[in-house]
Chains A and B, each alone.
Chain A
């Protein structure tokens, strides 16, 4: 049995807004194993980013209501600031969507990578750090790393900047890399390179990777396991094949059916009806119920909140967990409504 390198348990985060208290993260639990890529998927406002920001103590507003974040036997939420800082950037690292804002514009790229090394290893000499930084730049595919070492971020393209950020993220052999929409701001051909690079980084360090994304194509390409979030909760978690072949939560089905595809054509997309949940209103039932085609106004959906439950071991979805009262009906329902497209 592999013990997870990072385990988030029952995390809840609230923001106080002029309109009232908004619960952005509402009892989220997931974990990632060493050498594994967990993709966290969800739309805007699903709480996927807030979850990790809260877990790493990077939230500047908002309040953590409950939960534990276990890393190496420590609860990050109860760790003194100084100790947490020591972990961040070495054992636990992050790659953000916008590499330009993650880099210091008035410091050379090389020095920033070297600084990451020196901060966490006081014994390292300047010369040693420089050599290691150049090695790292070469590893992430920056051409002419010894020349590029002395250049500034504005002299790099967006994709190259993201490579530098990834170099910094793997500099101290992290055990967990959290990548928040790392390829959203770049072109597809660059995205393909960066996704490959993240795989290399994972193999190089053996770290567990949490990849936050809204792009199911990216998920299919790199994830081992997937957690689907909706309205601040994990509504389904499953091995990657199950998500695409036997989705158990109606929201997961909806995400797949509304997606235009490069590999097939359809007359009309099937959008998820309605609009995303209003987090200011907390209903006792399932947050997805107002948009759900499977619920068909059954009372339990509005009265009781479903918890994650395992799919039957003998079903096609063995290994999946879904938070739906009628998850066992999902497959038949989506086939009946023609919501699942056959692989071409």
Chain B
């Protein structure tokens, strides 16, 4: 049984599934059940792996690999947001980039709207289904093109409509993200950070994608502006039914925006579940430590902080057993030997841990 199947099984046994289409399973579910539900995930990622080779010497002999993403699987549904959270080095950004093939995955499959994406999939077809918004809009927009030309660029490349039609569509998109018609001729440098991010979002919407990958889209913005962008994303999603893969290190933002959350550690998903499950009843000791470290804007909030010992292990030669074992307060002998797989327990979210359980408990 693959992890993805286990995941799927987990989905089918969860209790509060009201906000998510059921029947997301693969092999383990009876065919009849799949037929009763017409909703398939718009994006299905299975066993995604990305290793970056390390080369040495004159002949560039490969001497090792950075295990950036190891065996990552998840489903994403139309109109929903899946949050990928983790600290630097967890592989969340590489996962996003491998899904949209900015980096070529080492192994694994990505299905967009029921069709597999392969190395042969033309970039043109890929871009019609999926787009990306980056953290730094200044680095991703063409500084010499006006806002409207930036947004029309994908349409031009995909030879959609006439120049006049493209302009009209781009202006409409910019209006949708809250930029006035009299602003659209300005170049990116003339906009504030928040406005630039709006342009980036408008451009991502240009080809009416099914999925948008958002990599820390609001992290560089001040909180008052960040709130505007987050509200915009929510509104666009409910209007257009787009699915978001939201990559962020900011757990408060993820709680606000996401329906589902996957927690990553050293290239692997260690826990995945509904927003409510992850934030109110995390079962993986890493998720618990991560949540306990987030400062709460309330001077009376008294919490037990779980302090992690040591540093993130090297992704070049990750530990053989559980990758978190060396820093885990619950680790026992088996953790160093056997890698835990994402598995569910009745009525709870999938967790990759030999001793999952509520914080403070022995599991």
Contact = CB atoms under 8 A, between A and B. Distances in A.
Do the two shown chains form a genuine complex with each other? yes
B296 A220 contact: yes
B298 A258 contact: no
Interface in B147-198: 192-195
A190 to B, nearest CB: 8
B297 A216 contact: yes
* Interface band, chain A: 35 or more
Of the four ranges (under 10, 10 to 19, 20 to 34, 35 or more), the interface on chain B belongs to: 35 or more
Contact of B294 (A217, A254, A259): A217
Interface stretch (A171-179, A201-209, A268-276, A321-329): A268-276
Contacts of B257: 260
B12 to A, nearest CB: 26
B87 A188 contact: yes
Interface in A202-248: 214-221, 240-241, 244
A73 interface: no
A265 interface: yes
A217 B295 contact: yes
Contacts of A269: 227, 230-231, 256
Contacts of B87: 187-189
B201 to A, nearest CB: 15
A259 B307 CA distance: 25
Contacts of B298: 220, 244, 263, 343
Contacts of A43: 222-224
B297 A259 contact: yes
A261 B296 contact: yes
A195 to B, nearest CB: 8
B299 A217 contact: no
Contact of B256 (A187, A215, A260, A272): A260
A44 B222 contact: yes
B229 to A, nearest CB: 9
Nearest to B230: A269
A313 interface: no
A221 B295 contact: yes
B224 A192 contact: no
A261 B225 contact: no
Given A192-B305, A244-B298, A258 B223 contact: yes
A270 B231 CA distance: 9
B228 A271 contact: yes
B126 interface: no
Contacts of B226: 258
Between A43, A192, A216, A260, the greatest number of chain B beta carbons within 10 A of the residue's beta carbon is seen for A260
Contacts of B307: 189, 192-193, 196
Contact of B296 (A44, A160, A263, A270): A263
Nearest to B249: A187
A255 interface: yes
Nearest to B327: A189
B194 A275 contact: yes
A266 interface: yes
A189 B227 contact: no
Given A269-B227, A271-B225, A215 B295 contact: yes
B192 A275 contact: yes
A31 interface: no
Most buried by B among A188, A196, A254, A343: A188
Between B87, B249, B256, B300, the greatest number of chain A beta carbons within 10 A of the residue's beta carbon is seen for: B256
B299 A241 contact: yes
A258 B255 contact: no
Contacts of B250: 260
Contact of B253 (A221, A260, A275): A260
Contacts of B291: 262
A199 interface: no
B234 interface: yes
A189 B230 CA distance: 24
B251 interface: yes
A188 B222 contact: no
A83 to B, nearest CB: 37
B88 interface: yes
A196 B223 CA distance: 24
11 contacts: A43-B223, A157-B311, A189-B290, A189-B307, A189-B308, A192-B293, A192-B305, A260-B253, A261-B252, A262-B251, A271-B225
Task: List the 5 shortest-distance A-B pairs measured between CB atoms, nearest first.
Answer: A217-B295, A260-B256, A258-B227, A271-B227, A187-B87
Given A260-B250, A265-B275, 4 more contacts: A220-B297, A241-B299, A244-B299, A276-B225
